[in-house]
Amino acid sequence: MKENQFVEKKKLEVVIDKSANWKELAKDCVCFANSRGGKILIGIADKEDLPPENQKIDTDLPFKINKKISENSVNVGLNVAIKTAPNGGEYIELEVLFSASSIASTTDGKYYFRSDDTCVPLLPDELTRLFTDKPSYIWETRRTKVSKFDIDTDKLKSFKKDIQHSTRTTLHIKQKSDDELLEHYFFTDGDYLTNLGVLWLGKRNDRAKLLYAPTIHFLKFDEQGQKVNKILWEDHTLNPKELIEAVWFEIPDWKEGIDVADGLFRKFVPNYEEEVIRELMVNALVHRPYTTRGDIFINIYTDKLEVVNPGLFPIGVTAANILHKNVRRNQYLAQVFYDLHLMDKEGSGIDKMYQVLLSNAKHIPIPFQGDDYVMFTITRRISKTEIISLMNRANEEFQLNTKELISLGIIAQHNSISAIEFSNALNLPERPNIVFQWLGRLLSLHLVISKGKTKATQYLINSDFLKKSKFKGQTNLKRIENHRLEELIYQDIQIYQPAPIREIHARIGIEISKNRIQKALKSMCTKGTLDCEGKLKGTKYFIRLKP
């Protein structure tokens, strides 16, 4: 078993003898209590699946652990037990209960949260959000006053049919009785429906009484910002799956697009792709806090689409790391969506949007978090139609994976991009070799070539592949070689000297990165070709006079 958001492994030394670190263990317990709970397996090393075969646990140790954690933490509930592994070795299973109605902390007043497989401190603004988010963690399974016998039979039949046809559900689940199926998906609690059960299978009146059932507003605006169309789904007749289908089939604008050349054929590129629209709606319905009032808005303008969702990102997720961070807010609702093929595995939806948009030569989605809402913006403009043919050919020839397609699309749109610019474009975390992990096989397949080293590395599409793909994009100076760049700078300064870098940059080509021009100027000054005067932004360059 690998460490993840719900499992942590520690050596036995952490709780015995002089090596015991009770404060560190208490911190980990606080992390689990403030997220969704979890288990700490004491006596199993990080990279091991089982404890040592001859390992035996003192029967008094669970009591000692419980006592020490209580002394070093506040609002942390535990179940501590000795377990025997298949190899005969013993270990301690420390189950940390989810703190549903209070915030856990260490006794010295510090707050922590479990993010993926690490424990991170909670900042003051995140602590406030945690207070707000706590009720939403248990919203799904909270029992309502609606009897399970008052279920909408048509919705139940449809749900059972979807389960039977799903390739993600086992035969064991498909063979369950109605009551067993509802209990399996946490739709019922005894003889009553849960909030999740009412949301998916309840009747209209019962769904309308939920706090807060989702409602969707579609608004279309013309060039002057005047509203020209409006469609509402606010009568609570539809469950989440039906809402997604209604949004896709009842809004006529999704059928609009343009034809672009793709080799000998023409390809229809919609203004807004179906995969992107469905994924935006899935995000809006699965990840919203259902304890927060607010409607979902779909706003279409002449050049862009905005999807506005009430509530904020889950703790640990920001607009910057949304491509790389996976945090569940409504885990049981997400499981239903997954089993019914309404969403892919957790966290892959944003990747899919990036892939689809970049394959159609469009810009990546722009996430934004406001005071009490989250908004995704999708632009309809195609940057270069030639990129579509390039991406299609590369994928058909090499069967690229998602990360490779995203990386190829980013590089193709920029023509040439530095390692730093690439990382910034995708908001990559600062980890060793992270850029190479995203590039995957692009370099070995010679689709992409690199120039330079470390952070100064430039990535660009291989010109041989461009020729083979009959790529007809516009030529620019991003690919210019260093000695030619220096000659271009020399000719510019010879005419306009003394000149600051901003003016040189504007004249010779704004598409060339400022960083490259700065390095070229520094190199020319070192070689004695140029001289400079002034400091920082006031520095001006001129031709060095020969002695």
pLDDT digits (tens, 9 = 90+) for 164-184: 999 999 999 999 999 999 999
Which residues have C-beta within 8 Å of that of residue 496, sequence separation ≥ 6? 503, 504, 507
List beta partners, residue 261.
Answer: 266
Tokens representing residue 416 in the block: 């040439």
pLDDT of residue 99: 81
Question: What is the Cα–Cα distance from 504 to 488, expressed in whole angstroms?
Answer: 10
pLDDT at 205 over 90: yes
Angle at 186 between CA 184 and CA 187, to 5 degrees: 105
pLDDT of residue 350: 86
pLDDT of residue 428: 86
312: alpha, beta or left, given left = phi > 0 and alpha = psi -120 to 50?
Answer: beta
Say if residues 144 and 194 touch (Cβ distance below 8 Å).
yes
Do β-strands 192-194 and 143-147 pair in parallel, antiparallel, or remain unpaired?
antiparallel
Among 245, 278, 1, 290, CA closest to 117: 1
- Kindly report, residue by residue over 48-89, the tens digit of the pLDDT: 889 999 999 999 999 999 999 999 999 999 999 999 999 999
Omega of the bond prior to 185 within 30 degrees of 0, cis?
A: no
> Which segments of 371-500 does DSSP mark as H helices, in order?
385-398, 402-414, 419-426, 434-439, 463-468, 482-496
> What are the Cα distances from residue 435, in Å, to 69, 281, 363, 378, 534?
41, 30, 20, 25, 37
Q: Helix, strand or coil for residue 45?
A: coil
pLDDT band (50, 70, 90) for residue 188: very high
pLDDT of residue 244: 96
What is the per-residue burial (b if ≥16 Cβ within 10 Å, else e) of 471-483?
beeeeebbbbeee
More reliable by pLDDT, 52 or 117: 52
What is the per-residue burial (b if ≥16 Cβ within 10 Å, else e) of 210-229?
beebbbbebbbeeeeeeeee
pLDDT band (50, 70, 90) for residue 374: very high
Mean pLDDT of the chain, nearest integer: 89
pLDDT of residue 393: 86
Question: What is the Cα–Cα distance from 90 to 181, expressed in whole angstroms?
Answer: 36
Question: What is the Cα–Cα distance from 1 to 304, expressed in whole angstroms?
Answer: 45
- Whole-model pTM: value is 0.77
- Kindly report, residue by residue over 476-533, the tens digit of the pLDDT: 676 677 888 888 999 899 888 899 999 999 888 887 888 888 888 988 988 888 999 9
In SS3 terms, 161-228 reads as HHHHHCCCCCHHHHCCCHHHHHHHCCCEECCEEEHHHHHHHCCHHHHHCCCCCCCEEEEEECCCCCEE
For the chain, list the domains and their CATH numbers.
7-122 (3.30.950.30), 143-208 (no CATH), 216-379 (3.30.565.60), 394-471 (1.10.10.10), 480-543 (1.10.10.10)
pLDDT at 470 over 70: no
Rounded mean pLDDT of 404-418? 90
Q: Which residue has the tokens 């997220």?
A: 35
Say if residues 8 and 40 touch (Cβ distance below 8 Å).
yes
- Kindly report, residue by residue over 319-361, the tens digit of the pLDDT: 888 887 777 788 899 999 999 999 876 556 788 899 999 999 9
Rounded mean pLDDT of 361-369? 92
Rounded mean pLDDT of 525-545? 88
Question: What is the Cα–Cα distance from 58 to 69, expressed in whole angstroms?
Answer: 18
pLDDT of residue 475: 59
DSSP assignment of 384-404, as one string?
A: -HHHHHHHHHHHHHH---HHH
Q: Helix, strand or coil for residue 492?
A: helix
pLDDT at 101 over 70: yes
DSSP assignment of 331-363, as one string?
A: HHHHHHHHHTTSS-STTHHHHHHHHHHHHTT-P
Say if residues 473 and 423 touch (Cβ distance below 8 Å).
no
DSSP assignment of 514-527, as one string?
A: HHHHHHHHHHHHHH
Which residues have C-beta within 8 Å of that of residue 469, sequence separation ≥ 6? 389, 390, 393, 394
DSSP state of 234: -
Say if residues 280 and 287 touch (Cβ distance below 8 Å).
no
